[in-house]
Amino acid sequence: MLYDNFAMLTKRELLIRIVKLLKEKDLVNGVKYIPVEMRPRNKKPIKCCVHKDRYILKHKIISILGFEITDEEIDLIPLAEFAQKALDNKNTKENILSVVHEACSACMQSQYFVTNMCRGCEGRPCLMNCPKAAISFKGGKASITQEDCVSCGLCSKVCPYHAIVYTPVPCEEVCPVKAITKGEDGTEHIDKDKCIYCGKCMQTCPYGAIMERSKVIDVYKSISDPNKKIIAIPAPAIYGQFNATPGQILSAIKAIGFDEVVEVALGAEDTSRNEAAEFLERMHEGKPFMTTSCCPAYVGWVDKHAPMVKPFVSDTRSPMVYAARRVKEQYPDAEVVFIGPCLAKRYEAEMYVPEVDYVMSFEELGAFMVAYDINVETCEEMPLNPEVTKFSRGYAQAGGVRNAIVEAVGNGYTTLSLEGLDKKNQTLLKMMPKKPEAQFVEVMACDGGCVNGPCSLAPLTLAKRQIKKALEK
Amino acid sequence: MEKVNLKICVGTMCYVMGGAELRDVVESLPQNIIEHLNVSYSPCLGCGKGEETPPFIEINGKRVAGVSKNSLIRIIKEELRDVV
Ligand code: SF4
Ligand code: SF4
Ligand code: FES
């Protein structure tokens, strides 16, 4: 995962500026200044010139405002018009994730490539070891015929000068399901039928070209409408996001203007209870194993790529669902905003959870905190709900669900916690119907669990430490 | 011996814009460096003015913009060189 990455900061700055303008009720007028202010003439441009930089920012803004960016027509429409349309609820974006083609640098097709460090040595191990005869020598230097190359990497391994490098396409490299590929125009395209919304590509693209659909405008509108009741339900991973106590963090969220803040961990109490009961029932029926179902990227992976695992995924709903239901039971008219580190939750909420009105990321939450001048560290402690146990807050990190289930069903079963959907874990899972590795299997698409979710605000080391502190209490 | 005055912004803007770990960096400095510093934390060093980008710190009265956890150590060491 990339930290200290300027593309990520660009996105955050855009979010902050947009939420600030919203709060000042100046979005329509002010939005056009953002690209100029962020890329002034006297600063060195990132791409060829400030104009290209600003043009890219314009596209990213349009994406945040909730419009599809593929349409060429958007070049003719001023930002103010998009802003007005967004405020009027006329944003049309359907895709949860889209590629800002103007920003996508159309990275070179991933390949092995001979650099000019090649000395054309007498040994020529690259030539000798290439199984496909893809290497030839021109002017005393090695060169790879791309049509013949099968990317086995042997040449690169044997070159004593490290002269042969692999140039990856970063987003394609990290996608666990090959859902993102180059189109004819050279830029990347996401196949909706394959994508599981793990968010890896978005996190990795060094141009910040892959943008999620934002709901900041809708959330802002509800917060600022005195006739609406709006309730935030932050995911357990929230406790890792600030240098503050859980109580302070919850009251900071409330200070933005939410009428109420209810921990998703409260819903995790229901998930743990139901999941434990379901697990015991399935074991009783003689089923070989059961996996969790609270990570929507994992569930998406099963649905789209591993149907043989489907019968073994629990039917219990995620903590988000139960938390939202509890809120809606108490306040049927309230709007519910899930706040989390997760891109796939946007998909889950939209497809399966009518009780959740909006999904907001921790990054977007951070933008609200800045715009509303909230300093988490100085916020007062909000009393925590005594119903919520540390096992439920523990859902924030990998192993948390397993711990909660073991707590409920005892130590008599074999358990396993899988982090990340890398090749190894994908194979392991696909084999499990034939060869179960354990009776209870927790699966989190993110390495480390939600604390390492793709829309996190705090760096991982800090987040882990803060969660540890929160759970010790 | 004179101490170096170091003010770290722990405000929300700086936190969100990449300064989340600045406090950690300072708190984990070795004793032989800490003893030469007068550290204080500020809720905001006045971001939003000018074109400079957060996170900000102030060292001996000078404001430094765009500080990262790596550059912070460098900045402190440089300033210490003049003192020690
Ligand atoms: S979100 Fe995940 S599955 Fe979808 S394209 Fe990106 S990396 Fe692939
Ligand atoms: S591990 Fe957590 S943050 Fe990551 S995709 Fe799954 S639910 Fe979302
Ligand atoms: S928040 Fe750091 S200078 Fe304002």
Task: Please report the pLDDT score of residue A2 as a whole number.
Answer: 44
Query: Do the chains contact at B15 and A366, CB–CB below 8 Å?
Result: yes
Residue A126 lies in a domain: yes
Integer Cα distance of A5 and A9 in angstroms: 7
Q: How far is B42 from chain A (nearest CA, A)?
A: 11
Residue A173 lies in a domain: no
Residue A64 lies in a domain: yes
Give me ligand 2 centre to Cα A349, in Å: 13
Same-domain pairing of A257 and A359: yes
Same-domain pairing of A393 and A413: yes
Chain B residues close to A367, C-beta within 8 Å = 16
Integer Cα distance of A272 and B62 in angstroms: 53
Per the structure block, which two tokens stand in for A328?
């809606």
Q: Which residues contact A307 (CB under 8 A, 6 or more apart)?
A: none
What type of residue is A410? G
Same-domain pairing of A27 and A68: yes
Same-domain pairing of A205 and A228: no
Residue A176 lies in a domain: no
Bridge-based pairing of strands B37-42 and B57-59 is unpaired
Check pocket membership of B19 for ligand 3, CB cut-off 6 A: no
Ligand nearest to the CA of B65: 3
CATH level 2 (architecture), domain B4-79? 3-Layer(aba) Sandwich (3.40)
At A164 the three-state DSSP class reads strand
Whether residue A469 lies within 8 A of chain B, CB to CB, comes out as no
Which range of residues forms the domain containing residue A117? Answer: 111-167
Integer Cα distance of B84 and B79 in angstroms: 9
**Tokens 């809606």 — which residue?**
A328
One pLDDT digit (tens) per residue for chain A, 473 residues: 445 678 999 999 999 999 999 999 999 999 999 999 998 887 777 777 888 899 999 999 998 998 877 666 778 889 999 999 999 987 777 789 989 888 888 788 888 999 999 999 999 999 999 999 999 999 999 999 999 999 999 999 999 999 999 999 999 999 999 999 998 888 899 999 999 999 999 999 999 999 998 999 999 999 999 999 999 999 999 999 999 999 999 999 999 999 999 999 999 999 999 999 999 999 999 999 999 999 999 999 999 999 999 999 999 999 999 999 999 999 999 999 999 999 999 999 999 999 999 999 999 999 999 999 999 999 999 999 999 999 999 999 999 999 999 999 999 999 999 999 999 999 999 999 999 999 999 999 999 999 999 999 999 999 999 999 999 87
Chain A residues close to B18, C-beta within 8 Å = 4, 9
Same-domain pairing of A341 and A259: yes
Same-domain pairing of A458 and A346: yes
What type of residue is A276? A
Q: What is the CATH number of the domain that holds A260?
A: 3.40.950.10
Same-domain pairing of A69 and A130: no
A388 touches B34 (CB < 8 A):
no
Q: What is the DSSP string of A233-276?
A: EE-GGGGGSSSS-HHHHHHHHHHTT-SEE--HHHHHHHHHHHHH
Q: Tell me which residues of chain B have a C-beta less than 8 Å from any C-beta of chain A.
A: 10-13, 15-18, 20-21, 23-24, 43, 51, 53, 68-70
Read off φ and ψ for residue A42, nearest 5 degrees.
-85, 0
Same-domain pairing of A150 and A255: no
Integer Cα distance of A113 and A166 in angstroms: 6
The residue nearest atom 6 of ligand 2, judged by CA position, is A295
B67 touches B59 (CB < 8 A):
no
Q: Which residues contact B43 (CB under 8 A, 6 or more apart)?
A: A375, A377, A378, B9, B10, B11
Q: How far is B12 from chain A (nearest CA, A)?
A: 6
Same-domain pairing of A339 and A226: yes
Interface probe for A, chosen from B8, B10, B12 (most Cβ of A below 10 Å), is B12
Q: Give ipTM to 2 decimals.
A: 0.91
Q: Is A357 exposed, middle or buried (0-12, 13-18, 19+ CB in 10 A)?
A: buried
Same-domain pairing of A236 and A314: yes
The yes-or-no verdict on residue B64 having pLDDT over 80 is yes
Among candidate residues A403, A445, A458, A426, the one with its CA nearest the CA of residue A242: A458
Q: How far is A201 from chain B (nearest CA, A)?
A: 20
Residue A172 lies in a domain: no
Same-domain pairing of A315 and A421: yes
What type of residue is A418? L
Task: Please report the pLDDT score of residue A3 as a whole number.
Answer: 54
Bridge-based pairing of strands A440-444 and A415-419 is parallel
Ligand nearest to the CA of A205: 1
Residue A175 lies in a domain: no
Give me the number of domains chain A comprises: 3
C-alpha angle with apex A84: A82 to A87, nearest 5 degrees? Answer: 110
**Tokens 């722990």 — which residue?**
B10
Chain B residues close to A373, C-beta within 8 Å = 12
Same-domain pairing of A258 and A325: yes
Arithmetic mean of pLDDT over chain B:
90
Q: How far is A12 from chain B (nearest CA, A)?
A: 7
Check pocket membership of A346 for ligand 1, CB cut-off 6 A: no
Whether residue A458 lies within 8 A of chain B, CB to CB, comes out as yes
Buried b (16+ CB within 10 A) or exposed e, A263-290: bbbbbbbbbbeebbebbbebbeeeeebb
Interface probe for A, chosen from B8, B9, B14, B15 (most Cβ of A below 10 Å), is B15
Residue A240 lies in a domain: yes
At A35 the three-state DSSP class reads helix
Query: Do the chains contact at A366 and B12, CB–CB below 8 Å?
Result: yes
Interface probe for A, chosen from B10, B13, B27 (most Cβ of A below 10 Å), is B13
Task: Please report the pLDDT score of residue A66 as a whole number.
Answer: 85
Residue A50 lies in a domain: yes
As beta bridge partners, residue A337 has: A232, A358
Chain A residues close to B20, C-beta within 8 Å = 243, 457-459, 462
Give me ligand 3 centre to Cα A226, in Å: 30
A336 touches A262 (CB < 8 A):
no
Task: Please report the pLDDT score of residue A89 as a whole number.
Answer: 81
Q: C-alpha distances in angstroms, B24 versus A238, B33, B80?
A: 19, 15, 19
Closest Cα in chain A to B52: A38
